[in-house]
Structure 1
Amino acid sequence: MASAEVPSGGPLLRTREVDVVRDGRYLLRSISLTVEPGQHWALLGANGAGKSTLLGLLGAVSHPTHGEVHVLGRKLGTVDIRSLRTHLGHVNPRHPLRTPRSVREVVLTGLTNSIEPELRWQPTVEQSAHAERLMDTMGLARIADSPWTTLSQGERGRVLIARALMPRPRLLLLDEPATGLDLTARELLLGSLDLLRSQHPELATVLVTHHLEELPETTTHALLLREGECVAAGPVDRVMTTELISACFGHPIRISRVDGRWSARAQPRRPTDV
C-alpha cells in the first residue's frame, strides 16, 4: 500500500459508479459524487437509504464492492486507509469516553487521535491557542473546564466537532449531528456550523441527516438517496424541491425555505395514492 501523503488541489472526494453489495443485496448502486473545497453537502434520505454506508466510503472506513472512491486525491484500495483517515475530520456521535476529562482535554485529543489524553504529551502554545479558537467558534469557551461526563448531548456534539478540527483537516464528515437534540441545542449546533464554515472557507463538509430542519443555512449541495440509489445530486436550489424530496422519501412532502433554513411537511395521501 502507498503512503497516505495527500496531494493538494482537485476534488476532496470523488466516487464513480460505486456499488456496495452485502449478502447479495445492494446497499448502494451506481453512486457518483464529487465534493470540492468549500462545498457543504447534505446526504438526505429515509432510514435505510444508504446514507451511513456512503459516509463510511467517504471517510475511508470501508471499501466499495464495485466502482472507485477517491478520498483527498487517493484511491481507496491503493493507500493505507488508517493513515488516510488521520487527514479527515470524522465526527463519531458515539464517542466512547467515560472519564471526567475537561472539554479542553477532549478537544486536544484530536491531535493525538486518542480517546484519553496521552501520557507525557503536551500541546504546543500554538496548538493550545488553536484549541481555544475552535472552542470559541463552537460556543464552548464558557465550559472549557467542565467535565465531559456533565455535558449535555448538544454540548458533547459541539466538543466532538472542535476535536475533529484540531488536525486542521480539509474535510469534515458529520453523521446525524443533531439527532436527539432539543430545539435550543440544535440551533446552537447549526449556528456554530455556519460560523465555522464562514471562518474556514476552504473547509468542505458532508452532513448526513433525514430531517431538513437539521440543515445549516450554509449548505451548498445535496445528494438524495432512496433505497441505495441516487434520486438527485447537485446545488441545493436545484435538488431541494418539493418534487425531488417527495420522490426521495416516497411520500408527498411540501418543503419551504425561509431565511436560508428548510422545513418539510408531509401531505396526506389521497385515496388514489394508496
Structure 2
Amino acid sequence: MTRPAHDDQPSPALAIRAQNVGVYRTGRWILKDVDWEVPAGACVAVLGPNGSGKSTLTRVISGYLWPTDGEVSVLGETFGEVNLHELREDLRLVQPTGLAEPDPEMTAFDVAVTGAFGTVGLYQETSDEVRREAKRLLETVGLSGSMKTPYQNLSSGEHIRCLMARAMVRKPRLLLLDEPTSGLDLLAREQVLATIQSLHDEDDAPTVVLITHHLEELPPAVSHVLVLDEGRVAVQGKPEDVLRSDLLSAVYRCPLEVVQADGRFYSRVSPGAWASLLRRHD
C-alpha cells in the first residue's frame, strides 16, 4: 500500500491521524501498518469482520491503549506530547455496555445531564444551561417522551440514544461510537442510525467515528470508510469506491453482493452459496 506524504506537524484540519500504527500483544500483531486520516467534522466508519482490529483501533484513538509502533495524533495533539486525561475532555466514547453504567433508577433526563460532569451519577447542582441542552439533545435523539422514564425501563435502543445525548452535552469535538447498534432489532437500529445522522447534521457537529460489522449500519452521513482485515487496512476511501462486492467478499470470506439505495449500502448473500460456506475450514 502506498502511504500518503505527511507534514512534520499534525494538520489542524484533521481530527485523527494515524501513521504506521501497530499493536502487538500475546505474540501477534492485532494492528499492523495502519495509516488513517479523518478530517475534522466528518462522519466516518471503521468496518470489518470480528477480530479485524476495529475495537483495538478505537481504544488506541481514545488513548486507552498505547500503540506498539507508529504515531497517533487526535484533535491536533500528538500522543506522547499531550496530557491524555485533558485530551479526553474533548472526546466521548459510546458503547452498548461500558465499564461504568448509569444508575438504573435515574431518569433518562438525569442520565443525559451527567454528561456535563463525566460521571455516572449526579453529585452537584446543574446549571439551567446544561439542563436546557440535555433536554434539547434528548428531543433531538427522539426521547422527548421518555425524559422522566427510569434508565432501567428504557429499551436497549433507547439506552444508546440516551447515552448519545449524554455524550453530546459537553459538545465534544470527537464522538466515537463502538458498535452502537449491536443486539438491536430493526426499528431500534434505524432509530440509532437516524440519531447519528441528526447529530451530524447539527451546527458545529463533532467528528463522528462509527465502528461496525455491517454495511447496513452506515448512515448516509458517512463520507469515508476504513475497512480492516486481520489488523491491516484492506481498503479505505469514499463509500462508493470501497463498498464493492469484490472487495468485501474478499474481506469477509463470503461471496456477497453489495447494493446501494438512497445513500445506504446493503449486503446480500445468496442461499446458493451456503453449502460452500459450511465446507470451509478455519
What TM-score do the two structures reach when normalised by structure 2? 0.89
2:28 is aligned with 1:28: no
The CA deviation at 1:65 is: 0.2
* Paired residue type of 1:198: D
Corresponding position of 2:5: none
The answer to whether residue 208 in structure 2 is matched with residue 205 in structure 1 is yes
Judge conservation of contact 2:133–2:169 (CA < 8 Å) in 1. yes
SS of the residue 2:201 aligns to: helix
Pair 1:17 & 2:20 matched: yes
Q: Percent identity?
A: 37
Unpaired stretches in structure 2, ≥5 consecutive residues: 1-9
Q: Which residue of 1 aligns with 2:263?
A: 260
Structure 2 residue identity aligned to 1:90: L
Q: Distance in 1 between matches of 2:201 and 2:47?
A: 23
Closer/same/farther in 2, CA of residues 8 and 65 from structure 1, 3 Å limit: closer
What is the alpha-carbon distance in structure 2 between the residues aligned to residue 33 and residue 198 of structure 1? 24
Partner Cα separation in structure 2 for residue 250 and residue 25 of structure 1: 21
CA separation in 1, counterparts of 2:22 and 2:198? 35
Q: Distance in 1 between matches of 2:70 and 2:11?
A: 23
Which of residues 114, 122, 126 is equivalent to 2:119?
A: 114
Asked if 1:56 is matched to 2:56, the reply is no
The one of 172, 177, 196 equivalent to 2:175 is: 172
SS of 1:199's equivalent? coil
Aligned pairs for 1:39-188 (under 5 A) are: 39-95=42-98, 96-118=101-123, 121-188=124-191
Q: How many residues align?
A: 265
Q: What CA deviation, in whole Å up to 9, does each residue of 1:198-238 have, x standing for no partner?
A: 11354211111101111112111100011001011111111
SS of 1:17 mapped into structure 2: strand
Is the partner of 2:35 in helix, strand or coil?
strand
Amino acid at match of 2:129: E
Q: Distance in 1 between matches of 2:204 and 2:249?
A: 32
The two structures, once aligned, show a CA RMSD in angstroms of 1.8
The answer as to whether partners of 1:42 and 1:219 remain within 8 angstroms in 2 is: yes
Determine the C-alpha separation between the residues in 2 that align with 1:19 and 1:102.
41
CA displacement, residues 25-60 of structure 1 (integer Å, 9 cap, x when unaligned)? 000010011111221111111101100000111111
User: In 1, are the aligned partners of 2:171 and 2:206 still within 8 Å (CA)?
Assistant: no
Is the CA contact 1:19–1:27 (under 8 Å) kept in the aligned structure 2?
A: yes
The Cα of 1:270 is off from its aligned counterpart by 8.8
